[in-house]
């Protein structure tokens, strides 16, 4: 079922779009429900009572004033989390708003079928079912409000800085994340590995940068949280070709052995100096080369060179393996007898 909220006051246009939707249903075997309204005062009630996959809005509606349509669009963008499509004869009033996954613009010369295609494409992503208006995230927050907030408030009353709004948001989102923890036996998906775009312009542990055409992972000792601003930044190289060759070996194996082949190619025992990285956008799979450590001046770490950040939950494991790799050799095998004899001779000489 595709649910569309149509904001259009031209009854002829409304009927035409609903007729096209009915024909689309027959041709494509899907169900489309279009609710139409002719003024923005009804939007709040509609969104409260129903869950829509998209809002389709005309610029000229109500008093035929494009500014009224633009104000409504701004209100939706600033106040709601629901995909929005502007379907109008004149798009100049929204030319300053860039299209993105949740905001599209179609001229009236475009068949309404194409608009429906786009709405279905957005719905298939399922991302708005999670973070959209009245999505799973909203439901989690609502549950925290009613079930956990009392205990949370009692807890933070003991903290003098409890009026720090950013600290409170961090604390509350931590509760949400805890509620979303993987259940026993569950598995994490590879796309959870990255945070992109990165939430910070600063250089942090776990950031991936492109420097001189190569990708590097910022990595710190486990006891250190932030880089000192007056020191070079330590990084390890990410090799994509080596990982590509290993993946090809995995895919050449019989299907029943591929899981085992993957573990053999990327296990700690087989490759203690490497750590597997899942694919990200244009980059395929990669391996972090713990043995290929470099340092660059801070000037190299430009905002536009930051590709992504690794989820801190995964970065802990990478950091642990990095430390384990460098601790693997222990102390050199020194000739203790020779060392003691030499130190004793020096001591006797100094006494004389």
| pLDDT tens sequence across 49-106 | 888 999 999 887 655 566 778 888 898 888 888 899 999 988 988 999 999 989 999 9
In sequence order, the β-bridge partners of residue 105 are: 86
CA–CA distances in Å: residue 154 to residues 27, 168, 174: 58, 13, 17
Task: State yes or no: pLDDT of 108 exceeds 50.
Answer: yes
Domains in the chain, start-ordered, CATH in brackets?
2-131 (3.40.50.2300), 136-181 (no CATH), 202-326 (2.30.30.110)
Instruction: Look at residue 265 and tell me whether its pLDDT is greater than 90.
Output: no
Q: How many residues does the chain have?
A: 352
Q: Is the pLDDT of residue 169 over 60?
A: yes
263 pLDDT more than 90: no
Question: pLDDT value at position 223?
Answer: 44
| Residue 351 CB contacts under 8 Å (≥ 6 apart), including other chains | none
pLDDT, averaged across the chain: 81
Computed from CA positions of residues 327, 332, 337, 342, in that sequence, does the dihedral angle turn out positive or negative?
A: negative
The pLDDT of residue 279 is above 50: yes
Which residue did the predictor score with more confidence, 36 or 132? 36
Residues 120, 2 contacting (CB under 8 angstroms): yes
pLDDT at 319: 86
**Residue bearing the bigger pLDDT, 336 or 38:** 38
Question: Is the per-residue pLDDT at 37 higher than 60?
Answer: yes
Burial of 135 per CB tally in 10 Å (0-12, 13-18, 19+): middle
Average pLDDT over residues 172-199: 69
pLDDT at position 3: 93
pLDDT at 174 over 90: no
For 41-45, which contacts have Cβ atoms below 8 Å and span 24 or more sequence positions? 43/5, 43/7, 43/72, 43/76
Between 229 and 282, where is the model more confident?
Answer: 282
CA distance 34 to 96: 28
pLDDT tens-digit readout, 144-167: 777 776 666 666 565 555 566 677
Q: Considering only CA atoms, which of 273, 301, 293, 325 is closest in space to residue 204?
A: 301
Average the pLDDT over 171-179 and give the result: 70
């Amino acid at each position: 079922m595709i649910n569309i909220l149509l904001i259009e006051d031209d009854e002829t246009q409304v009927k035409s779009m609903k007729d096209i939707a009915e024909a689309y249903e027959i041709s494509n075997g899907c169900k489309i429900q279009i609710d139409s309204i002719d003024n923005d005062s009804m939007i709040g009630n509609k969104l409260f009572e129903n869950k829509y996959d998209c809002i389709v809005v005309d610029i000229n509606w109500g008093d035929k004033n494009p500014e009224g349509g633009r104000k409504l669009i701004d209100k939706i963008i600033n106040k709601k989390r629901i995909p929005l499509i502007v379907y109008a004869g004149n798009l100049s009033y929204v030319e300053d708003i860039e299209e993105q996954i949740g905001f599209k613009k179609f001229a009236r010369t475009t068949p309404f079928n194409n608009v429906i295609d786009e709405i279905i494409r957005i719905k298939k992503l399922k991302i708005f079912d999670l973070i959209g208006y009245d999505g799973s995230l909203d439901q989690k927050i609502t549950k925290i409000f009613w079930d956990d907030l009392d205990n949370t408030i009692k807890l933070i009353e003991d903290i003098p800085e409890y009026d720090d709004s950013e600290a409170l948001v961090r604390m509350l989102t931590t509760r949400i994340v805890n509620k979303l923890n993987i259940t026993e036996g569950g598995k994490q998906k590879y796309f959870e590995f990255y945070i992109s775009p990165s939430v910070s312009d600063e250089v942090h542990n776990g950031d991936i940068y492109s420097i001189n055409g190569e990708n590097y992972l910022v990595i710190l000792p486990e006891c250190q949280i932030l880089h000192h601003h007056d020191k070079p930044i330590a990084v390890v190289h990410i090799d994509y070709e080596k990982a590509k060759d290993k993946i090809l070996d995995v895919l050449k194996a019989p299907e029943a052995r591929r899981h085992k082949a993957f573990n053999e190619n990327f296990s700690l025992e087989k490759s203690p100096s490497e750590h597997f990285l899942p694919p990200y956008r244009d980059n395929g799979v990669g391996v972090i080369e713990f043995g290929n450590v470099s340092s660059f001046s801070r000037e190299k770490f430009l905002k536009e060179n930051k590709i992504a950040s690794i989820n801190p939950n995964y970065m802990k494991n990478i950091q642990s393996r990095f430390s384990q790799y460098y601790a693997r050799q222990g102390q050199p095998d020194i000739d203790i007898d020779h060392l003691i004899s030499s130190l004793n001779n020096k001591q006797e000489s100094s006494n004389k």
